[in-house]
Amino acid sequence: MADRGSSALRPEHPIERSLPHLVEEFGLEQRGLPVSEVVSGITLSSHDVVPGDLYVGLAGKRHHGARFAEAAREAGAVAILTDDEGAEIAADAGLPIIVTPEPRLALGELAAWIYRTREEPPTMFGVTGTNGKTSVAYLLEAILRQLGVVAGISTTAERRIGDEVIVSKLTTPEATEIHAMLARMREADVRSVVLEVSAQAITQHRVDGIVFDVVGFTNLTHDHLDDYETMDVYYAAKRELFQPDRARRGVVMVDGDWGGRLAQESRIPITTIATDPAADAEWTLTIDEERPERTTFTLRGPDHRTLTTSVPLLGAYMAANAALAIVMLVESGFDLDAIAHALNIAHDAEGTEIHDDGFVAGIDVYIPGRAEKVSGESGPIVYIDYGHSPDAFTSTLESIRRVSDGRVIMLFGADGDRDPSKREEMGAIAARLADAVVVTDFHPRFEDPASIRAALIAGAKRAVPDREIHEVPDPRAAFRTALSLAGEGDVILYAGPGHEDYHEVAGERIPYSARDDARSALHEHGWL
């Protein structure tokens, strides 16, 4: 199946750079046709080529990108950069060929040079960890906005500069896209950029060419053991971000063992944060109040500095994400009191302070599909969540138990073609922490959906043999089954789809929004 490509964020006024100069500066080898005078962009997808681009033909898992050299030329590419094998494949494509043994290793530096993103860079924040990256990124952006700073974000859910939004294909874009996006953000006067950084992004050199001002670590738990042989290898990939060539300072959540190890092994100045007041961390977080839609917390820092605020979201884990975001801002130079002030005042549309008794102080954030409450005032509370790992299930279900005495119904599936070793544990956690479990399909991709469901159910049955379990393959029918099990005051957690608007089956993306469907079903019951 050919890659259908995506529209990337690009500068509206690209700067022309000398291509011969680039070849010389990076010690590249030129073959065949002479290169043109200028280059104004770089991409590694033939679908994203715009006139003036250098097309990079990478050897992929399915294709050698050099196969698409002709398509790239037709779209306006000025040359192809590739390896020896690619140079042979693209020999007759009618494009000048530039050769380097491992093009992926050169991408970040080349893209930074072409888009001039090293010059007067914005403040760069990077967030990594197994769970919570997207949430911390949104929280950082929200607090920056409340501080009056124009920020841009790049997350699994979306890439956004003000009102300009594109839907993401990967958690972290390829280096070529990141630097194009940074150039676009510079045009929009963005002064702070928040990038969600996956382990794969570090391993695959997608964040090369960037030195982050502050990087943050949320946690490390079981996931991605299809891409990384062991948890140690997965950890080592994340640790790479906390080194001087990639970041200036780091903030590490040390609640888990991996965070403690990272704080020890990192080679940049590290500030630590923990939710356990007895922990040996510089910052500690205590939860003051948990409600279904709001969590209030106090953050205590060195020199007895404190800040009390809230997030309009479920769960102590979201407060921990918010605390991490706040400490990252402090590490970037913001004063804690200034942050407290910005979070605890209301503004009108023009940005003028207003004094309104009904105003609830706190972080003004909306995070699509992360414990997003989609139900109304009556009927069960329904959360749509992007959790798809054992730890995500635990955090969300435990939080729900703390805010509700009702029955908890957990609806979920598991990704096909992604780390099958976590499935049984996901089933077990659902069975242990929920009163009833509904297992459905979630992106089976090229796997047999029945065998994915069977693994989840086996895990659930092993953990709690008499747990009420329903198997409903179709997600729409499954949600209605979950709804039939719930009454007033009960809670349904639908984990998996989060913000997504498709269901991936055998290479096809079928339109499906869990959010919209849940709302329709609630409406059908007269609960919305």
Ligand X SMILES: CC(=O)N[C@H]1[C@@H](OP(=O)(O)OP(=O)(O)OC[C@H]2O[C@@H](n3ccc(=O)[nH]c3=O)[C@H](O)[C@@H]2O)O[C@H](CO)[C@@H](O)[C@@H]1O[C@H](C)C(=O)N[C@@H](C)C(=O)N[C@H](CCC(=O)O)C(=O)O
Ligand Y SMILES: Nc1ncnc2c1ncn2[C@@H]1O[C@H](COP(=O)(O)OP(=O)(O)OP(=O)(O)O)[C@@H](O)[C@H]1O
Q: Which residues bind ligand X (CB under 6 A)?
A: 2-3, 44-47, 58, 60-63, 65, 68, 156, 170-172, 174, 198, 200-201
Nearest one of 387, 371, 392 to 221, comparing CA atoms:
392
- With binding defined as CB under 6 A, does residue 332 bind ligand Y? no
Helix axis angle for 316-331 and 133-146, nearest 10°, is 60
Q: How far is CA 426 from the centre of its chain?
A: 20
Min separation Cβ 171 and ligand X, Å = 3
Token pair recorded at residue 322? 């918010």
Binding mask 216-235 for ligand Y (x = CB under 6 A): --xx----------------
Between 46 and 389, whose beta carbon lies closer to ligand Y?
A: 389
Give least dist CB 28 to ligand Y, A: 34
Query: In this chain, which stretch among 239-247, 278-286, 317-325, 505-513 interacts with ligand Y, using CB under 6 A?
Result: 317-325
The beta-strand segments (E) located in 197-237 are 212-217
154 annotated as a binding-site residue: no
**Contact flag: residue 386 with ligand Y (CB under 6 A):** yes
Q: Is 462 annotated as a binding residue?
A: no
For residue 55, state whether it binds ligand Y (rule: CB under 6 A). no
Minimum CB distance to ligand X smaller for 43 or for 117 = 43
Stretch that binds ligand Y, among 1-9, 24-32, 258-266, 383-391 (CB under 6 A): 383-391
Residue with structure tokens 């179709």? Answer: 474
Burial of 150 (0-12, 13-18, 19+ CB in 10 A): middle
Amino acid present at 486: A
Q: How far apart, in Å, are the Cα atoms of 356 and each of 148, 345, 359, 360, 478?
A: 20, 9, 5, 9, 43
Q: What is the DSSP string of 325-357?
A: HHHHHHHTT--HHHHHHHHT-EE-TTS-EE--T
Q: How far is CA 210 from CA 18, 179, 301, 429, 523, in A?
A: 22, 9, 29, 38, 47
Helix (H, G, I), strand (E, B) or coil at 422: helix
DSSP 8-state symbol, 18: E
User: What is the C-alpha separation between 496 and 514, in angstroms, rounded?
Assistant: 9
Beta carbon nearer to ligand Y, 78 or 431: 431
By a kind-dependent CB cut-off of 5 to 8 A, residue 63 interacts, out of ligand X, ligand Y, none, with ligand X
Closest approach, Cβ 418 to ligand X, in A, equals 8
CB of 413 to ligand Y, least distance (A): 14
Q: Which is nearer to ligand X, 159 or 467 (CB)?
A: 159
Please identify, using beta-carbon distances, which residue of 87 and 137 lies nearer to ligand Y: 137
| Residue 272 touches which of ligand Y, ligand X, none (Cβ within 5-8 Å per kind) | none
H, E, C per residue of 185-208:
HHHCCCCEEEEECCHHHHHCCCCC
Residue 131 site contact among ligand Y, ligand X, none (CB < 5 to 8 Å, cut-off depends on kind): ligand Y
Residue 317 in contact with ligand Y, rule: CB under 6 A: yes
**Tokens matching residue 176:** 């070529």
Residues 94-133 that bind ligand Y (CB under 6 A): 129, 131-133
Token pair in block for residue 420: 């099958």
Stretch that binds ligand Y, among 23-31, 265-273, 346-354, 392-400 (CB under 6 A): 392-400
**Smallest gap, in angstroms, from Cβ of residue 234 to ligand X?**
11
Is 46 annotated to bind ligand? Answer: yes
Query: Which three-class secondary structure state does DSSP give residue 273?
Result: strand
CA–CA distance, 58 with 105 (Å, rounded to integer): 11
Nearer to ligand X, 13 or 62 (CB): 62
Which of these ranges, 101-109, 389-397, 438-446, 476-484, lies near ligand Y under the rule CB under 6 A?
Answer: 389-397
- ∠ CA(382), CA(386), CA(390), 5° rounding? 105
Q: Which residue is nearest to ligand X (CB)?
A: 60
Residue 154 or 219: the one with the smaller Cβ distance to ligand Y is 219
By a kind-dependent CB cut-off of 5 to 8 A, residue 396 interacts, out of ligand X, ligand Y, none, with ligand Y
How many residues form the binding site for ligand Y (CB under 6 A)? 24
Quote the distance between the C-alpha of residue 384 and its chain's center.
17
Q: Which member of 81, 193, 314, 320 binds ligand Y (CB under 6 A)?
A: 320
Interaction partner, residue 218 (ligand Y, ligand X, none; CB < 5-8 Å by kind): ligand Y
Residue 113, SS3 per DSSP? helix
Nearer of residues 198 and 275 to ligand X, judged by Cβ:
198
The residue with tokens 């809230």 is 310
- Whether the CB-CB separation of 28 and 97 falls below 8 Å is answered with no
> Taking CB under 6 A as the rule, does residue 186 contact ligand Y?
no
Binding residues vs ligand Y (CB under 6 A): 129, 131-135, 156, 171, 196, 198, 218-219, 317, 320-321, 370-371, 385-387, 391-392, 395-396
Which residue positions form the known binding site?
44, 46, 129-135, 171-172, 198, 204, 206
